[in-house]
Structure 1
Amino acid sequence: MRFLLHLGSNQTNLAFSPLSFHYVLVLLAAGATGDTLNQIVSFLGPSGGMAHASLASHAASAFLARGNGSEPDVRCGVGVWVDSSLQLRPAFADMVTSQYNATAQAMPFQEKPDKARVEINRWFEDKTGGLIKELMPEG
C-alpha cells in the first residue's frame, strides 16, 4: 500500500494491475537467492514462493498469451533487460521465457541509452497492441 500511495501521490487518476505487480515480483524472486529471495517471498505472502510462481506461470500461459481467444482481450508485456556489459544466468533467462512468457535480453544502456529506450518502447507497443507507445520517455 505504501508503494501505491507513493505512485499516486502526484496523480489525480491512477490505474494499475495487481497481477502485473505480482508477476514482476515473482520474476525477481526467480532470479534471487538468500536474504533477497526471503524478503520477496515474505512480501508476497504466506502461500510461499512456489505457490506464487505457479500462479504467475499459469497467468502467463492462460491469460497473457496473445491470440488465446478468451475475453476480455488482456495485453501485457513483461521483460527483463540488463545492460549489455552484464550477463543473465542462462537458467534464469530460460525460465523467464519458458515459464513466464516474458523476454530476457541485454541492451546497450550505457553505450547507447536512447537506442535501448527506443527498442524497449517498440517492444511494449507491439506487446500491448499499440496501447502503450512510450513507456520510457526521452531523458
Structure 2
Amino acid sequence: PLRSAPLRRGGGSGLPSSPLLAAITMENLHNANSRFALDLFRRFNETNPTGNVFFSPVSVSAALAMVLLGARGNTEAEVLKTFHFDEVEDVHSRFQTLTMDINRSNAPYLLRLANRLFGEKSYSFLPDFLTNTQKLYGADLAAVDFLQACDEARKEINQWVEEKTEGKIPDLLSEGSVDNMT
C-alpha cells in the first residue's frame, strides 16, 4: 500500500508520538535510502561496469522527495515506488529530521546536506509547495531563465553547488547539459 505524508499535502505535524515510533520510522527511511542506493549503483554499473562511481544517495533521494511534494497520481506512485518511499510513513517529516540531524552544528563531523529548487522564472509555483519545500527541506526557489538563457541558468546552478560544497564540485552540470526544455 502507498503511504504518503500528511505534511506533503500541508496538514498535521507529522511527528511521531513516541521515541520508539520515531526510531522505527527513521529506520524505514534509512532502509529505503539504502535500497535506492543499491538500485542506482546497479544502474550506474550497467552503463559503466569498470568505472568509478561517486554519488550521494541521500542527496538524490532528498531532491526527488521534494519533487514528490508536488507530484500526484501516477507520477506520485512511481516516485514512491522507485525510491522505496512507499515503505516510509510520513516521508517528508522523516527527511526533515534527517536533514536537521546531518546539519547539526554540534556534530563531531562536518557534513552538510543542501537543497535548492531551480525553477523556470515564467512558471508559477504553488505557494503551498514552496512553503513545504522550505519548511521540510530548507530549500528556497531560485527563479532562473531556462527558456532564453539556459547556459546562464546552468552557470548559476554550478556556482551555487560550488559554494555549498566549498569548491569541491565546481561543475556539476557540464556545458550543453541544460537546454530550454530543462
TM-score (norm 1): 0.83
Q: What is the aligned-residue identity percentage?
A: 26
CA distance in 2: counterparts of 1:61 and 1:31, whole angstroms: 22
Partners of 2:102 and 2:113 within 8 A in 1:
no
Unpaired stretches in structure 2, ≥5 consecutive residues:
1-37, 177-182
CA distance in 2: counterparts of 1:45 and 1:94, whole angstroms: 21
Partners of 1:41 and 1:49 within 8 A in 2:
no
Moved over 6 A (4+): none
Q: 1:77 to 1:7 in 2, by over 3 A?
A: farther
| Aligned counterpart in structure 1 of residue 123 of structure 2, from 81, 86, 89 | 86
Q: 1:48 to 1:126 in 2, by over 3 A?
A: same
CA distance in 2: counterparts of 1:45 and 1:84, whole angstroms: 30
Structure with the bigger RCO (C-alpha within 8 Å, sep 6+) is 2
CA distance in 2: counterparts of 1:93 and 1:39, whole angstroms: 22
Residue identity matched to 1:27 = M
Aligned to 2:25: none
Aligned to 1:133: 170
Aligned to 1:123: 160
Relative to structure 2, which stretch is displaced further, 112-121 or 96-105? 96-105
Partners of 1:108 and 1:116 within 8 A in 2:
yes
Aligned to 1:39: 78
Work out the number of aligned pairs and report it. Answer: 136
Residue identity matched to 2:98 = A
CA distance in 1: counterparts of 2:86 and 2:118, whole angstroms: 29
Q: 1:84 to 1:36 in 2, by over 3 A?
A: same
Unpaired stretches in structure 1, ≥5 consecutive residues:
none
